[in-house]
Amino acid sequence: MKSRLGHDRLLRGENIAGFFFLLPGLLGFLTFVLFPLVFSFLLGFTQWSFISGFDEIKFLGLSNFWLLFKDFEFQQALQNTVLYTIGTVPVTIVLGFLIAVVLHRYVYAKNALKIAIFMPYISSLVAISVVWKILLFPSYGPVNEFLSWIGIAHPPGWFGDAKWALPALAIQTIWLQLGYNVIVYMAGLATVNLDLYDAASIDGAGAVRQLIHVTLPGVAATTFFLSIMGFIGSFKVFDQISVITQGGPGYSTMVIAYYIYQQAFQFYHMGYASAMAWILFLIIFIMTAIQWRFGNSETP
């Protein structure tokens, strides 16, 4: 009986000690994650400017959410975000896969090239954005100077042109994300069974058929992972927009994340910004669930 009581006390003491070890992380989660999450959800049903204090919070019901369907700027931001996603995610996946295959099979000094390709991804995004803004400066940027030198009379205006600003951001993102995709794909290629290539070669399959019927299915899980992460990242793009274009010229590069920031911290429409943030969450959640449903079912 005494040994049983001693065991219970020891177990209770271990549980209490474990709880105190978890307490700092739990408090951080409650303070910086759960409370802001719940508070932003409640703010979506209100009108509030945080500089006016909590006494000025006014309940509006679903008005903020209905207003989104009438807000041209929000619709433009959603359209730009979708176009940006379409222009970046598939291209980075395809190019990342092809470059990874070339490095994996045909290049000997691959480690040095892997480091060089991966460097943009781990560099400061703000610094990279400033460099790209200088490179693609419409008047005296190095890129347009080179295009003029080779005979192009009217080079693109890039970030200063409403037609070229979003494609220019997409080009920068492709260059930035490509290294990450290459590294992940090379890790996936290392797991493909080499015996499958030997068997395909014996059956008469050439390099292209091996690529389609052996390599692609072998890295299907990698492609699935990169497509989901790329989609989520493209819908949350903010840094490049903030540093380079601030949503302009006009609304040509206005995306949802930057529009939420603008409404919240420039116009102080915290309730409306919170409603948009939850709509953005729903879009990402639904699209990720669709990708998970159909992509995961095809992954071996």
- Domain CATH code at residue 161: 1.10.3720.10
DSSP secondary structure letter of residue 58: E
- CA–CA separation, 161 and 163 (whole Å): 5
Beta strand segments in the chain, E: 46-47, 58-59
| Residue 75, pLDDT score | 94
CA 210 to chain centre: 31
pLDDT of 71 strictly over 80 = yes
b/e per residue 182-208 (b: at least 16 CB within 10 A): bbbbbebbeebeeeebeebeeeebeee
Number of continuous H segments (helices) and E segments (strands) in the chain: 15, 2
Task: Please state whether 60 falls in left (phi above 0), alpha (psi between -120 and 50) or beta.
Answer: alpha
- Both tokens of 259, joined, read 């529009």
Instruction: Answer whether residue 53 is part of any domain.
Output: no
Question: To the nearest whole number, what is the mean pLDDT of the chain?
Answer: 88
Predicted TM-score (pTM) of this structure: 0.89
136 three-class SS: coil
- CA–CA separation, 192 and 98 (whole Å): 15
Instruction: Answer whether residue 20 is part of any domain.
Output: yes
Q: Comparing 36-40, 48-52, 286-290, which segment has the lowest mean pLDDT?
A: 48-52
Q: How many domains does the chain have?
A: 2
Residue 179, domain extent: 63-298
Based on the domain organization, do 248 and 219 belong to the same domain?
Answer: yes
Instruction: Answer whether residue 244 is part of any domain.
Output: yes
Based on the domain organization, do 155 and 13 belong to the same domain?
Answer: no
